[in-house]
Amino acid sequence: MINSGKEEKTPLQEKLGVLADDIGSLGFKMACLTFGAMTVHLLLEKIYYGESLFTMAIIKEILNYFIIAVTVIVVAVPEGLPLAVTIALAYSVMKMKDEKNLVRYLSACETMGGANNICSDKTGTLTKN
């Protein structure tokens, strides 16, 4: 198992993955809604005033609407989320150190934070299984 390099996701990583997927899908839906609403508004306005729908100005305007929709998708993803999680885990490592617990991996603090009782061998080392 050590040679395979296969790492399991921690519960926090799994929850953040679900949250990121939800935010991404919501951002995509809102971008599609924004693009559709702006395009329909433009076309209905041009039809109402009897203007031609197939001009270069209309195509440029629709392209601008598409750029706005892509911007909505990009802005919807929080880029500071992984950094905030890392800082929170580093803070928990320091708190565990104050309680005389040396933590080797940041992700271990996440699972150890919910433990009430810890059983260890005579060396005090906690290992998997």
124 in any annotated domain: no
Angle between helices 11-48 and 81-98 (to 10 degrees): 160
What was the pLDDT predicted at 4?
62
User: What DSSP element (H or E) covers 118?
Assistant: none
Q: Is residue 125 part of a domain?
A: no
pLDDT of residue 26: 94
Report the C-alpha gap between 69 and 66 in whole angstroms.
5
Please check whether residues 91 and 71 belong to one and the same domain.
no
Mention every residue, 6+ apart, whose C-beta is less than 8 A from residue 11: 110, 111
Question: 127 lies in a domain?
Answer: no
Tell me: do 27 and 63 sit in the same domain: yes
Range of the domain at 88: 81-112
Return the pLDDT at 71: 94
pLDDT of residue 69: 96
Annotated catalytic residue, options 21, 22, 98, 121? 121
Residue 109 has what pLDDT?
75
Residue 128 has a pLDDT of 67
Total Cβ atoms within 10 A of residue 38: 17
Amino acid 3: pLDDT: 60
20 and 60 assigned to the same domain = yes
> Whole-angstrom Cα distance, residue 26 to residue 40?
21
Domain presence at residue 20:
yes
3 part of a folded domain: no
Same domain for 19 and 57, yes or no, is: yes
Number of domains in the chain: 2
In a domain, 123, yes or no: no
Residue 54 lies in a domain: yes
Q: Determine the pLDDT at residue 6.
A: 65
Say if residue 49 is in the same domain as residue 100: no
pLDDT of residue 1: 45
Annotation marks residue 121 as catalytic: yes
Length in residues, the chain: 129
Per-residue pLDDT of the chain (129 residues; tens, 9 = 90+): 456 656 677 777 778 878 888 988 999 999 999 999 999 999 999 999 998 888 999 999 999 999 999 999 998 877 777 777 778 888 888 887 887 777 777 777 777 767 777 777 777 776 665
User: What pLDDT shows up at residue 5?
Assistant: 59
